[in-house]
Structure 1
Amino acid sequence: MSKSEKKKMATSREVYHRIIWDVRLDSSAFIVGYQERLSSTGIREKPLAQWTTDGDIPFHRIRYIRCQDVVVWDREQYLDLISSGELPAAAWKSETRENLGENVVTILNSTAIFTPRPVYKYDIQGWQADTQKAADVKLDNLAIASFNVLCDLYEKEKIATEKRLPAIVEQLRQCNADIIAIQEATPPLIELLLSQNWVRNYYISDNSAAATVRPYGNLLLSRLPFTLVEHQFSGHKRVLVGSYQINGQLLHVAVVHLTSDYAQNALEKRQHQLATIIAYLQKLPGNSLIAGDFNTRGNEQQDILTGAGCVDIWEKLHPDAAGYTFDPQHNTLAALMSLKGIPVRLDRILLRSPNHDWQPQSIDLFACEPIADTEEKIYPSDHFGIRAVLKFAKSFPASPLSSALSTVRPVYQSAVVVIPPDNVLPAIQAIRERYDARVERWMAHINLLYGFLPESYFAEAVEIIAPVLAQLQPFQITLADFQTFTHRKSSTAWLRPVVEPETALHELQTILENLFPQCNEQSSKTKAGFTPHLSVGQFPSPEAAFAELPEWHPVSFTVDSIALISRRGDEPFEVRHLVYLGQGKGDREDKGDKEDKGGKGGSELGELIKELEPELTPAQQLQRDTVLEVVTQACAECLGFQTSLQLLGSARLGVQSPDSDLDAVCVIPTYLTGEAFLVSVQQRLQGLCHTQLVLDARVPILRLKLEGISLDLLYARAENYQLARKHPQNLDSISLKAIIGCWEADVITEIVSKYVSLNTFRELLRAVRAWAKARKIYGNAWGFLGGFSWALLCAFCCTFDKEVEPSREKLLANFFQLLHHRDWQQAIALTDFGRQYQVQLPRDWLPVITSIEPFQNTARNVTRSTAKIIQSEFARGATLTKRILADEEKWTTLFAPIDLHQESEIFLILKVSDRDEHELEKCCGILEGYIIGLIIQLEQLGIFVRPWTGVQKMENTARLVLGLHLNADCTSDTVEQLAKDFLSRCACQLLVVSW
């Protein structure tokens, strides 16, 4: 079976997270075998549970993973029993094995039995089973309460149940919740509840027979109609799940009372119960809440909950408050029932909302005071009640990006921030320039998320953020006064934001963190949780700060947007996207994404671009990030310090497609030789991937292929990237050639962003690349234009459009009109210095000039023939786009593939053969590198040449094709001899065919 036919093999990272987060798997049963050079065998092992994702050992060094004696994943053997569902019995937790018997592999398809139960509603005949289908209701806010009311099965004579029951019912009435989850309900409580007039407005999970609460049990009351199922763990331990149709979506509410520490193996039983509940809820469409008495101490169930995407609402909204619901030090009944006398937060409300349709607004305790007129200070229960309010975010399409991006590791080269407007900045910057050591790196800002996703994920992140923020309204911030954070040896001074409405900024930060839960440092790094601040300087102490800082006059501004910012290498942070709050506003950076923009044919063009020049999927981007991480780690090991790679080409411009390779530059110290560095990196990667060291090229390169991704690694010798950019004259010629492509790409984005959004530019560039490839005029080696030349042309055309935000359709039409009517005696350049380039023929048939000195023609491989071909294609594009915008043609006509057989009279075919795949690849590379020389020699004989871009490979052979138009003075024999002479210099076999 060929590799392409094999089943998909999960990466080591994916396998690790599957084992850690799948609550049914016993992570302690797994062992990791990883490559270790100092080991006598080259392999060392450690328990998978002790592996740390951010530790010293990178994922790419994992060789295999075994479960006891069974290898379940092996990189070299291409073995993956986890993806195929063939794990051994020892992989599963004991409870899972007991439930399933011998057929352990069926765990993936098994579910616990949840039995439907009736729901009761009051009518003129009393409490009757509700037989109506639960209708959809419309709600903006939903209040849910949970209360363990303390049954009288234990210490009956001491807990005054006859006094407590009326107080419990009154507390439930006063909490005014839409949904009420009760634990330890008893028949007398149900009887009293059913007699209350206010309860008649509710649906309830049991009737006067009280069949489900003997001797006690869970109860669900709801103003909203619902359907009900029940799962029974033991004789009286059950979970209820009510399902609601709200705002056209499903919401499931599980009422739980997990096993207490009075029972044997209580922790294991709780884990099993919670895992069963979560597994059931995860199979249901929509959102879910879990409310009740978890009997949980601290974060003992955190792994299960985090892996399932559950948010503890109390921790989310009150991270600095204990929130004890069982407090023996204040509640006399809790003191009576407690085993240890320690206050704990046993009762919780958890939210699982994958698409963030529901947002937590508030959560509070109730029933926290003793019953009035009782001398003994009797409380309604040994627990306090808990009540939460959720807000419904208006529905927007579920994004598959959410779950994919949740696995992306945050980096500290990006952040999501609030930036004050220009009219507020001068007063802040005057202080920062004097006292803030980071003024060059950071703009004035209030951090919302830091670290955040790598910049390469920003476009996908905006797709997730924008619909949610559209539901929020802009709000006011007043920078009121100075405050300080005290560190061990210093203090940071900051301006304190006062917000109106008071909770708006915290809600915004909470929403963003819910969207990207792994980016939680701002709310988790201190006990106080999220503390919004705008840093202005560093001082030896708070006293020094207040002594030196000038008088501050409060300033106010409106927050109507957030910014996604990032820095590249040692450059300062820059704004890459703005996302606006409120309906009717858009992200200027994202307007280019709207497919119906530009009127006629908008969506058709968008679909064509997606089909012909698709963007990377999150999985493909993750694969490239993994490859970069592996190579970066190898570079760091060689250098002895952490480093970062500077991307080149399409990756730097943000227009990578699945067939794009990666090019990256590593900045190395000047005391190292570049060749020694590349050799060292090659040795570090030995055995992990195929590598080829090319030291005799114009720029030495280490070529490697890892996990199907090709990457060319270059080096630049400099102190650091920022200094190299400021002082390029200090670089040697090889280093300058390697790194100048980074600067050129950055100039393009800097200039383009002054005219159109970067997303609009990228859409135009993708469209042009797709068109050029379809028309077979893409490829510098063949005398046409390479990717960088096309990017310069697109950027150049963007600077001519005077619209505030032109559509990609309009830009594409203008692209062809401008270039069709262009005087090619004039250089195309983005800078004034570039435009001073002196055009010379025959060197510069199409002068497309770089932006940074030394100024060069990026299209210097264009020949007399290929220049005419490109210009004729510009003319065709100008004619067709004019007709398309007039609704006389379709966009598919513009992108119609060219039939090269119809373009020439005869064809010169250069055919090479070699059974060795690497030798064949090498020979093809030589031919591609020299083919432009043959084209020019043929043109000197008066022959018009139409190159076929690319090498056509078939088994052990490859061929290159040139279409020819011969003149009267030139024969096919002359052409054949010229080609033979040319190929002899390339040491390749040749077959020349003409027809």
Structure 2
Amino acid sequence: MSKSQKKKMATSREVYHRIIWDVRLDSSAFVVGFQERLSSTGIREKPLAQWVTDGDIPWHRIRYIRCGDVVVWDREQHLDLISFGELPAAAWKREARENLGEKVVTILDSTAIFTPRPVYKYDIQGWQVDAQKAAAVNLETLAIATFNVLCDRYEKDKIATEKRLPAIIDQLRECNADIIAIQEATPALLELLLSQNWVRNYYISESSTAATVRPYGNLLLSRLPFTLVEHQFSGHKRVLVGSCEINGRLLHIAVVHLTSDYAQNALEKRQQQLATIIGYLQKLPGNSLIAGDFNTRGNEQEQILMGAGYIDIWQQLHPDAAGYTFDPQRNTLAALMSLKGIPVRLDRILLRSPNNDWQAQSIHLFACEPLAGTEGKIYPSDHFGVRAVLKFAKSFPASALSTVRPVYQSAVVVIPPDNVLPAIQTIRQRYDARVERWMAHINLLYGFLPESYFAEAVEIIAPALAQLQPFQITLADFQTFTHRKSSTAWLRPVVQPEKALHELQAVLENLFPQCNEQSSKTKAGFTPHLSVGQFPSEEAAFTELPQWHPVSFTVDSIALISRRGDEPFAVRHIVYLGQGGSELGELIKQLEPELTPAQQLQRDTVLEVVTQACAECLGFQPSLELLGSARLGVQSPASDLDVVCVIPTYVSGETFLASVQQQLQELCRTQLILNAQVPVLRLQLEGISLDLLYARIENYQLARKTPQNLDPISLKAIIGCWEADVITEVVCQYVSLETYRQLLRTVRAWAKARDIYSNTWGFLGGFSWALLCAFCCTFDKQSETSIEKLLTNFFQILHHHDWQRAIALTDVGRQYQVQSPRDWLPIVTSIKPCQNTARNVTRSTAQILQREFARGATLTQQILAGREKWTALFEPIELHQESEIFLILNVSNQDNHELEKCCGILEGYIIGLIIQLEQLGMFVRPWTGIQKMQNTVRVVLGLHLVADCQSTTIEQLARDFLSNRIQNSGVRIQLAIVYDSLSAYPCS
């Protein structure tokens, strides 16, 4: 077999286009042989020039292509001479044969000189020449963006550059690309760009001298180290080519701004420029991208690009979408700069990957909206930006990771499920000094690879674990490790089958042999254990530890965890055992599990105890109505129980709750809260948290028809039950109730993973999500619609919804009058008086939610097309990358009871602080939840300054806000503005 036969061959379609479009080749010399049943030989031939690309004969029926007597492409023989420059002389036109072996200048010019240029990186001394050798990196996906930002050389008095520059910077930051190509950059833009904290994470092609962007020019920014060359076509017209090594392969990125139609002979100049760029790139090994402003109308450059093997990513992924990046009919700046007033797709990203190392995953436009306060007159630029995501299509070689040194900020572990955690955590809270840093876990590998390698590690781990089956673990009893001056107590896992856990650990260690500490630190080898505490001695451990009742659970996944700075460990990836974890349904079972029969029985028992206590106080058997997720049938092990007890109107509600508290005080912890809008008795029984409310009602069925007759407290308590019933009634007209429940579980799991599940923090609470899911179900009248289709519809509907209209399930709800700016996302209740359940959504959180709906719409389409996996949809949000500035609020108190009260105050008022910060001109990204560490609680708000606002102003506002609400002599309030990273700021 020849060398060419061993290489990857092109498809018949690719070979056809190369022959047709390469002007050096004589297409009339080629003949196509295709399968034809009616032929006596089974094969018929026709001249290649007569082949009809959209005719009746499909491409897969082509068996060979020959030139004269030489077969140059053969499907069965895996022969492809054309891709590897081994064509016979007869294939070439006469003028090309005279120069055979040389590039034809009008097509590809490889003689142009590309000059090396320095690359700059930020350090403590500022932006400096990067003297380090460009290191190789490993990535699973790569995001690249290109944006012509419109210099102010022309029409300067009409394009409001002073307003546009900050908006351009915002758009570049928000696109969150690994590689950014900029055209028409000016010294003013460069100066502002280099001053941004987020840009310090990039390498850049120019320093503060702005030597190559006067009056304007190209810039290349990359999170990955790169080398740089340039070729200058004219005084300010040049191309930059950066080169990175990713996953052991080179990737070259050319940043182009080809000649526009303002110039004479523009088309010829563009062709010559493109020929020069492609001629240079084809000499380089590896893959290449060309990104920028091609100033191209239609397919005028298709011949040279297709002949060189480049794919236009927009055309590949959106063949039926115009994708105009210069649109005078929409963009006022484009209208000002346009010669013809015709929308065109000038800006493009092209990919050449001969061995299919990289595949296009997605592409979209950005910077498509006018600036706020300009009445639609000013856009960030006359062009829209383009952002594409590429996926590395090859399996990442395990050998490439075997040399990575382990770190002790990451581990591979087994984490017990939620239903067995309370018993473990009760012990750890008392005896384990590491309870704040580690979740309950069984170490499999520790240390492990740095978090930056997790995506590649998962690609290696997943196929290996797919061969293993889930197994049972019983945490049987306490054991100890004895050290020189102390003893560690741990729970002993008993495994069924007996060797399953050891086999799992061995498989992982075999993949990462350098991570062998768990099997090599003792003579006994790997000793699986779940640590629960530290004690002075073994005797002290067994004396102090409580009695343990064995608990069992199924191990069907492992977790890759890491910690950042002083933060606790967190789960970054989950990898499943067996073959079932790749399907959406199996994924949701893990992320948002249903109650097991044992868990349901436990909750039923708690309800029986509470019901009996209520009966003893009232003197008769009352009706207890479930609220929330329990009423909708979507409880998970982490869900609390909310219950309304219907009592007669002659009974005092507060007296009733106090009586129930007295009945239960010897059985469980209780807290009676009477000063809330709805009085509540909170209790914890058998590990289940339950909130008991009351509603004073004579006739339950009649009360729903005439809710206006109830007292305000009773109405607020009971209306949640009725609203849930309306959801059930409406949904069942369109899909089965079980299908709706599946959708709601899936959406809840997604919202939690993306950190947008919380009414308190300005996002959406459980009831809002339930309404959204029900609303989207009304668009489908098939009772057996698949969850995959319903979830895809969910994102499409919400992404395209006009948020000036309320989302509601009933005619009464649809009559709700949306009021701006109060109702950013109107998701309205169904029973009068109708209210917006999303009234805590702010300007910032509304934008975040809408972006997440758009992301979901794009991803689900890609998943259904087979270009992505369901796990990508539930990828945890990287909050550290969401903001460039963080406002840290630490509240400390030695009294844990007082600290709990502070937590309640913070959660009750945090939305007010977010709104006040927005009024200063800021974009706020809340981190949902309050972080608790020892005697301190912490709140984190990501900020993006869109106005001239000093950090001292922000700190003073936050301090005044807290001081006015938390007034306790034992409280210490600490605030800080942190740039770039939270890892360096401990919770003190």
TM-score interval (norm. to shorter): 0.3 to 0.5
Q: Which has the larger radius of gyration?
A: 1
Query: TM-score scaled by structure 1?
Result: 0.40
